A and B are shown apart, each in its own frame.
Chain A
C-alpha cells in the first residue's frame, strides 16, 4: 500500500466545472509536490510546497491552484480546465525537500476533461 493517498482515483469533469484533488501523507514529511504525467511520458513538476509554503510554481496556468492546509494535506483546485489538461496527476512527498531524499509518490488521480 502506498503511503501517499490520493483521492479521487478517477475524475471526469467538464471544462466549466470546479473540482479539487486531494493528497494526504502521514510520514511526517515537510515537502510535498504536485506532478502532471501524460501517457508514456515522465512526470512533470508543477508545484512544490516546503513547510506548508509554496516554494516552486513551474509556470503552471492559473486554472490550477494548489493549497497546503497543513503538513499532511495537499490540495489541487481545478477550474476551467482544457482538454489538454487530461492526464494523471501525481502527488509526492519527501522528508524536507533536500535533493537526495527519496520522493514517495501516490498512485495519482486520472483526470479526464470533456
Chain B
C-alpha cells in the first residue's frame, strides 16, 4: 500500500515550461516532505524539502507548494531546462522517527525538450 501517491507518471515539456508534479499522503504523522532528483545511472539526490508549517519554499528554479488541509504537496520547476530531465520522487517521513524512514512516491519522469 503506497503511503504517498505521486502523479503524473511522466511528463514532457518544452524548454521554459513549468512542469508540475503532485503528491498526496494520508498519514497525518508525516511532517517532513523532501523531493529527490535522479538522473539515469545516478543515485537520487535531495533537491528541496518542506515542513508542514510552511506553505511554499523556493530554491532557485524549484518551488514546493504545501497544502496541509488537503494533505497535498507539489513541485514546480520554473523556466525548465533540458538539464532538468530526470526522474523526480516525492517522499514523506516523520521527523521524530529515529531511523529516517522515507516513504517514496512512485516517481515522475520529466523530459524537457530543447
Contacts and interface: CB of A to CB of B under 8 A. Distances in A.
Interface of A: 2, 4, 31, 33, 40-43, 45, 48, 50, 55-56, 90, 92, 94, 97-108
Interface in B15-69: 31-32, 34, 36, 41-46, 49, 51
Contacts of A31: 99-100
B77 interface: no
- Return the 7 tightest CB-CB contacts between A and B, nearest first: A105-B43, A42-B104, A99-B97, A99-B93, A102-B46, A100-B95, A100-B32
Contacts, number: 78
B13 interface: no
Interface string B94-114: 111111111011110100000
Contacts of B34: 102
Given A99-B93, A107-B43, A55 B98 contact: yes
Interface residues of B, number: 29
Given A42-B106, A103-B100, A103-B102, A98 B95 contact: yes
B89 interface: yes
A48 B105 contact: no
Interface of B: 31-32, 34, 36, 41-46, 49, 51, 87, 89, 93-102, 104-107, 109
A97 B43 contact: no
A1 to B, nearest CB: 11
Looking at chain B's contact residues, the main secondary structure is: loop
A103 B87 CA distance: 17
Nearest to B87: A40
A42 B86 CA distance: 13
B83 to A, nearest CB: 18
Contact of A102 (B49, B95, B96): B49
Contact of B99 (A42, A50, A105, A108): A50
